[in-house]
Amino acid sequence: MDERKKRVLNAIIEDYIANAEPVGSRAVAKKYGLGVSPATIRNEMSDLEEEGYIEQPHTSAGRVPSDKGYRFYVDNLMEKARPTKEEEKAIKDALAGSVMEFDEFLRGFCNVISRLTSYPAMIALPEQARGKLVKLQLVPIHERQVLVIMLASTGILRHKIVDLPFDIDEGEMTRLEEELNRLALGMDMQKLSYTFLQQQLHELGVREKILEQTVQLLRKLFHPQDGRRVVINGATNMLAHPEFRDIEKLKNLFELLETEGKVQKLLDAGGEENLTVAIGEELADSQIRDCSMVIANYFINGQRAGSIGVLGPTRMSYSHTVSLMEFIAKELTAVLDKNKKEID
């Protein structure tokens, strides 16, 4: 694509992002000093339309970028901005507190992201704990209930109340705790599966009763998480955009955001990349139309732990959002690393 055509496409997209209205040849020629007349622009636009980068809502309207157009813009035209000092400060402040109670922390962080981007933000929590097990403690709560606390070398704390299928007294509980610690301390959290530990216990030939009890406890503990694995914030932001004047569209969108599985799927589109932009049709869900997402992964121990995404209209401010999200994911990853070093 020749230089001038690129500039025309760029002008159309940026104008449309700013004003949400079809862009005419006149406006492009006037506002984006290309030094040529509207007629010339019209010819370029005609070509661009033929190639599928822009579309015409109806004959006598201006042009609107297509998904393909946005894709080209994001890949080739968009200038990467940097977050402002204020934005950087807001992000760093949000990360300054304790991130030990990770899920709880991310819930608040999600809010910060949605405010900064002014789009709905969503975070997929890590599927599994990362790092090595540093501490495992059992706190008896009640006859058949025990609070299991696990601290990982990442500095992230997990706890869960486990209903025991057997009575246990304090002495036995201590034994159980010792046994578990001997077994699992220092182990990679991701390998701490039920089946693995069960096998280990057998090999170690632990005393019969404790063995049985431990196995039962572990079975409960590593049962797939029931809690919400994704947090969302700021859906209201979507109301500000004219493309969501339509209640039906809005309803689709909000219903999607309330369906955990679908949000999870959207975020999964981020793959293993640091940062991904999914535009329109590229989104995993056809329930929402005219939307795009910017998805960034965050890492623990160099491994992808979860992802952060913001959803906007396809007409979203890619440049601003991408720069923010890059920074956010980078900072979050950095904080998690720092946390880890402190624990080690």
Partner DNA sequence: AGTAGCACTCTCTCTTGTTGAGTGCTAATA
Partner DNA sequence: TATTAGCACTCAACAAGAGAGAGTGCTACT
Using the rule CB under 7 A, is 65 a contact of DNA?
Answer: no
Figure out which of the listed residues 20, 31, 33, 43 binds DNA, where binding follows CB under 7 A.
43
Contact 326, 296 (CB under 8 A): yes
Tokens of 116: 């900064």
Helical (H) or strand (E) element with 164: none
Using the rule CB under 7 A, is 96 a contact of DNA?
Answer: no
Min separation Cβ 28 and DNA, Å: 8
Min separation Cβ 46 and DNA, Å: 4
Q: Which of 320, 215, 326 is nearest to 270 (CA)?
A: 326
Phi-psi region of 205 (alpha: psi -120 to 50; beta: other; left: phi over 0): left
Nearest CB to DNA, comparing residues 30 and 82 = 30
Nearest CB to a copy of itself, comparing residues 57 and 242 = 242
DSSP H helices, the chain, are: 3-19, 25-31, 38-50, 67-72, 85-94, 102-117, 170-184, 194-204, 208-221, 247-258, 260-268, 318-343
Contact 152, 171 (CB under 8 A): no
Nearest CB to DNA, comparing residues 46 and 111 = 46
CA atoms of 165 and 168, how far apart (whole Å) = 9
For residue 144, the partner it binds in DNA, a copy of itself, none, with Cβ less than 5 to 8 A by kind, is: none
For residue 281, the partner it binds in a copy of itself, DNA, none, with Cβ less than 5 to 8 A by kind, is: none
Contact 318, 335 (CB under 8 A): no
CA atoms of 230 and 121, how far apart (whole Å) = 11
What string marks each residue from 86 to 125 as x (binds a copy of itself by CB under 8 A) or -? Answer: ------------x-xx--x--x------------------
Min separation Cβ 22 and DNA, Å: 6
Mention every residue, 6+ apart, whose C-beta is less than 8 A from residue 279. 67, 70, 71, 74, 292, 314
Q: Looking at this protein, which amino acid is placed at residue 266?
A: L
Figure out which of the listed residues 20, 61, 204, 240 binds a copy of itself, where binding follows CB under 8 A.
240
- What is the three-class DSSP state of 136? strand
Using the rule CB under 7 A, is 56 a contact of DNA?
Answer: yes
Site for DNA in 4-23 (CB under 7 A): 4, 22-23
Using the rule CB under 7 A, is 63 a contact of DNA?
Answer: yes
What string marks each residue from 294 to 313 as x (binds DNA by CB under 7 A) or -? Answer: --------------------
Figure out which of the listed residues 5, 32, 49, 100 binds DNA, where binding follows CB under 7 A.
49
Nearest CB to a copy of itself, comparing residues 174 and 200 = 174
Figure out which of the listed residues 8, 13, 16, 25 binds DNA, where binding follows CB under 7 A.
25
Mention every residue, 6+ apart, whose C-beta is less than 8 A from residue 223. 194
Using the rule CB under 7 A, is 27 a contact of DNA?
Answer: yes
Contact 121, 232 (CB under 8 A): yes
- What is the three-class DSSP state of 305? strand
Figure out which of the listed residues 30, 31, 82, 159 binds a copy of itself, where binding follows CB under 8 A.
159
Mention every residue, 6+ apart, whose C-beta is less than 8 A from residue 52. 66, 68, 69
Name the segment binding a copy of itself (CB under 8 A); options: 2-10, 81-89, 243-251, 322-330.
243-251
Using the rule CB under 7 A, is 216 a contact of DNA?
Answer: no
| Residue ranges that bind DNA, judged by CB under 7 A | 4, 22-27, 35-40, 42-43, 45-46, 49, 56-63
Instruction: Tell me which residues touch a copy of itself (CB under 8 A).
Output: 98, 100-101, 104, 107, 135, 137, 139, 141-142, 145, 147, 149, 151, 155, 157, 159, 161, 163, 227-228, 234-236, 239-240, 244-245, 247, 250-251, 254-255, 258, 342-343
